[in-house]
Homo-oligomer: A and B are copies of this chain.
Amino acid sequence: MQQLPDINDVYRARERIAAQIHRTPVLKSRTLNRLLSAELFFKCENFQRTGAFKFRGALNSVLALDNNLALRGVTTHSSGNHGSALALAASVRGVPAYIVMPTTAVDVKRRAAVAYGAQVIDCEPTLSAREAGAAEIMRATGAAFVHPYNDPRVIAGQGTIALELREQIRLLDTVIVPIGGGGLISGVALALKALAPNVRVVGAEPTSADDARQSLAAGVLIESQEPVTVADGLRTSLGEVTFQMIQRYVDDIITASEEAIIRMMRMVWERMKISIEPSSAVPLAALFENRDSVPGTKIGIVLSGGNSDLSNLPWK
């Protein structure tokens, strides 16, 4: 069992990564405030380097490795944002990155990892093939495995978002964060509960991929079974570490229909003029579908990323 990260790990993560990450802005929208009768503050990790929050955790992990280990490089398996994040993190440290990618990964993700200097290794699109591919890399190169979420250093890196948000906006009532593997909400919730225990931390999932909500309700880790959702970043199930963190620090989990996710993604693009990926729209969509206690409150929303395929947007 890995040790759970605490607030000091988040502070250390910030020290490590501050020079290389963007301190992302917080945006507001009159239209959305009016529609919800609330005051919303959007923490824009879609503007983070590599286009997603994942770079924070990946960079913290890579920079925390001791020199001998780091020189052998890092590896992961990923079809999404963690792969390019780890590729750039390794490039920042000047060490090799080996990214195992299923052949079904969209081409733009593959090109992003290659552009950051990573070696991309193809594998069949199954979890066992991905894990076998990474294990083979580790044997052959001695590279360190960096898990996309179930890792205390990755979680501590994502928690730096909450440190920034606290400095940017005081007196929030609630912060809402999308849940896929749970790394993002684990870090954010950990930091907020240490710094501002009165802030409610709420997770948001697609209704069709609500493994975290089910797990929290049941008290045991329940994995999702090939969920079908437009929010491709949220199809993953929790890990042992992130499940414990969520049990400890998260107040509630709310869900959003596919229709609302697509509608809110489009509304953010149209009204706020920023690109967000479907996963980033899930907290807002869940708010619209669970709005009883929303009016009159101040709500922070983490927009987790902005990497969409512009040739294949989820609306007509």
Tell whether A47 is near chain B: CB-to-CB under 8 Å: yes
Main secondary structure of the interface of A (DSSP, over half): mixed
Those of A255-279 within 8 Å (CB) of chain B: 266, 269-270, 272-276
A51 contact set on B, CB distance < 8 A: 273
How many copies of this chain are found per oligomer? 2
Q: With A and B bound together, what is the CA distance between A274 and B266 in angstroms?
A: 13
- Which of B30, B273, B315 contacts A274 (CB under 8 A)? B273
- Which of B46, B108, B266, B270 contacts A273 (CB under 8 A)? B46
Q: Would you call B275 and A273 a contact (CB within 8 A)?
A: yes
Question: Which has the most chain B C-beta neighbours within 10 Å: A30, A272, A273, A310?
Answer: A273
Q: With A and B bound together, what is the CA distance between A275 and B49 in angstroms?
A: 17
A286 to chain B, nearest CB (A): 22
Q: Would you call A270 and B313 a contact (CB within 8 A)?
A: no
Q: Would you call A273 and B47 a contact (CB within 8 A)?
A: yes
Q: Hey, what's the 0/1 contact readout for A95-124 against B, CB within 8 Å counting as 1?
A: 000000000000010000000000000000
What 10 additional pairs, Cβ within 8 angstroms, besides A46-B273, A273-B274? Answer: A25-B25, A51-B273, A266-B310, A269-B275, A270-B310, A273-B275, A273-B276, A310-B315, A311-B315, A313-B313
Query: A interface vs B, CB < 8 Å?
Result: 25, 30, 44, 46-47, 49, 51, 108, 266, 269-270, 272-276, 306, 310-311, 313, 315-316
